[in-house]
Every structure is written in C-alpha cells, then in structure tokens.
Amino acid sequence: MPADAHPVLRALEPDYNNRQADRINLIMVGKGYQNMDEFLATVHRDLAFDGVEKPSPESIEKLHFGLFAIEPFKSQKSKFNLWYYPEQLTNISPADFVSQKRDDLTGNARDFGLPFATYLFFLNPTGDPQSFAYPSNVPPGVAPFKNTLLFGSATVARYPTIGDGMAVVAHELGHSIFNLRDEYVRTGPDLTDRYGHNIARTTNEARQLWGSVEGQVDPFYYTWKEKMIANGFWIDSSTPLFIQHDAKRGIDIYTWHPNEEEIRAGYVQGGGITTTGISWRPTKTSLMNNEDILDKSWPKFPPVFGSANRRVMHSVLDLFSGN
C-alpha cells in the first residue's frame, strides 16, 4: 500500500498524506450533508489547503480565512495528515463514533491504527446546530510530553452554502489539539470552571503561563490586517462602524477590527468559563474569543490566536517533524 493510502480512510488531497510520517492525523467526518460531494466541498472550502484567503465581498466577513490560511496552521501544514471517513454518519453521534474508534483496542485498530489522531466532525447545521470540542490533554504551565499526548475531537456546524464563520474550525482545533480555553465571558454558579493555558485564576498564575510573551503581538495580526486593507475591508478603530442605536439605553453600538493593543499579550481581567467571574486572559480579543455581540461596542472577532496561544500551539507542533 502506498504511504498516502489507508484501508478505511481516504486522503483529502492527492499525493500529500504520509502514514509513516511524524504528523498529527486529522480525521474529518461528515454528517447531514446531501451527499459526500457536498461534505467534501464544505471541508475543502473551510480548510483552504492552498493557504490562501478568499475574498467574498457579498458576505458578512468579506475575506474568508480557512484553517490553513491562519497561522500557525498555515506554516505548519506539513505537520498534518488530512483524512476523511468515506461515509457520513447516520445513526451514531460524533461522541459515540470517537469512543468506538478510540476504545477499539483489538490489534492495531485504535483510531484506525493512526498515532496522534484527532477527529473533526462537519455537521450540516440543518441537523445539528452546535460547534464544540473535547479538549486534548496538553498540560498548562509545563512543556508537553509527546508520549502522553492525547488529542480530543471537535465538531463544527458548517453550512455548505455559507462561508462566513469558517474560522470556527481553527477555534475548535484550538481546543481539541492544543487544549486552549475559550476566552469569551461566561460566568455563573452552574458552570464548570475552565481555567487553563490562556485563562488564569490570578495575575501571578497568568505571568507564569504567558509572561514569556508579555507585550508581544502575534505577527499574523499584521498579515491579516494588511490583507483586509489590501481588499478594502478594514474597519479601523479610529473610525468604527455604526451597528445600531440601542433606544432602551440611549447609546449607539459600534464595531471595528481590533487595533494592535487589543491583540497585544498582557493581562486582561475576566474571560473564560468560570463560576465566579474571577479570571485573567491574555488579550482583549482573539480567535479563542468570539465576543462579537451586538449589545455593546466591541472589536470584531479576528482570525488571530494571539501570542499567548501561539506559544502553546508551537510547543505542541514542534514535537512533530512532519517527515
């Protein structure tokens, strides 16, 4: 069998996978699409294997950044094999599918016999509205150890006909591969605390976790900004975009693309899923934060992870040679 072939799974791209290579095995599975062609077209669009962002002037976001158009995935693409399961799921949930494949310990059957596997489910939202992830076990505060790495799984709710929101793929892989936490604010006694790499309990803990990148701006911020400007889509924070008048509160709501300071790593109070609301996050906004809501003036949600998250991602990706 050639190196890019697999007895069950299919290669997403011709002449690209190498089963023997030291790579993360990303396994895509579809559910709810009209047929495999529609599923694959959705996957191809959202992964942007060519690494190129796609202008879409009629859309809300205007310029679509698929997974491999976003750093660090763009420059680290060779660390991934890209597979898909040849049938859509019908009578099984994604979670049960993962258990079935992961817990199959007969012979070499676990995860289809692939090491460092992670599952990414594409769900047609007409059937299943939620995007969510089971995180990996990358430990906060210490260097990751390859032999104990266990990647999780993620589902993304993606319409075949709407490109907006495709950065959710990179966001969910932030959880399932790198164990990054959500940075948006959800607070309440009924929630479960989700502290971790990018959500700290105290400023002391925050300094231990991401103090090494304090003051840094993820270089991809500048790349993204340049591309938005070049395509005529940049909304500068000095001239924010009017969204709506909130008559109840008598205020105008504006949005803008985040300025440099809003993506510079530091210690921003609040964020993440916590019972108490006491937490610190690295940047005002980032790809792990989708606080892009219409009831307050706020920067748009950028396809930029920020330096604190990039540090964690590279510590994992550096464990794989890609060869």
Query: Residue 183, interface with Zn ion (CB under 5 A)?
Result: no
In the region spanning residues 5 to 64, those forming contacts with Zn ion, defined by CB under 5 A, are none
Nearer to Zn ion (CB atom), residue 286 or residue 307: 286
What minimum distance in Å lies between the beta carbon of 294 and Zn ion? Answer: 20
Whether the CB-CB separation of 121 and 33 falls below 8 Å is answered with: no
Nearer to Zn ion, 182 or 262 (CB): 182
Q: Which of 46, 71, 111, 182 binds Zn ion (CB under 5 A)?
A: 182
The answer to whether 172 and 132 are in contact (CB under 8 A) is yes
Of 60-68, 175-183, 202-210, 220-228, the window that binds Zn ion (rule: CB under 5 A) is 175-183
Give the H/E segment covering residue 298: strand 298-299
Stretch that binds Zn ion, among 119-127, 143-151, 180-188, 227-235 (CB under 5 A): 180-188
Nearest to 251 by CA among 298, 296, 312, 196: 296
- Name every residue whose Cβ is closer than 8 Å to that of residue 88 and which is 6 or more positions away in sequence: 29, 30, 31, 32, 33, 36, 39
Q: Which is nearer to Zn ion, 125 or 322 (CB)?
A: 125
Is the preceding omega at residue 72 within 30 degrees of 0, hence cis? yes
- CA gap 216, 307 in Å, rounded: 6
Closest CB to Zn ion belongs to which residue? Answer: 182
We find the least distance from the C-beta atom of residue 173 to Zn ion, in angstroms, to be: 10
Q: Which stretch binds Zn ion (CB under 5 A): 66-74, 174-182, 234-242, 261-269?
A: 174-182
Q: How many residues bind Zn ion (CB under 5 A)?
A: 1
Q: Measure CA 139 to chain center.
A: 18
Which of these segments, 156-164, 178-186, 216-224, 305-313, binds Zn ion (CB under 5 A)?
178-186
CB of residue 269 to Zn ion, shortest distance in Å? 20
Q: How far is the CB of 182 from Zn ion (least distance, A)?
A: 4
Compare residues 33 and 184 and give the one whose CB is closer to Zn ion. 184
Sheet of 153-157: strands edge to edge? 10-11, 80-84, 24-31, 117-123, 153-157, 132-134
Its sign, for the CA torsion 171, 173, 175, 178, is negative
Closest approach of Cβ 171 to Zn ion, in Å? 6
Closest contact distance (angstroms) between CB of 275 and Zn ion is 18
Task: For residue 321, give every residue at least 6 positions away whose Cβ sits within 8 Å of its Cβ, in sequence order, or none.
Answer: 21, 22
Question: CB of 174: closest distance to Zn ion in angstroms?
Answer: 7
Interface with Zn ion (CB under 5 A): 182
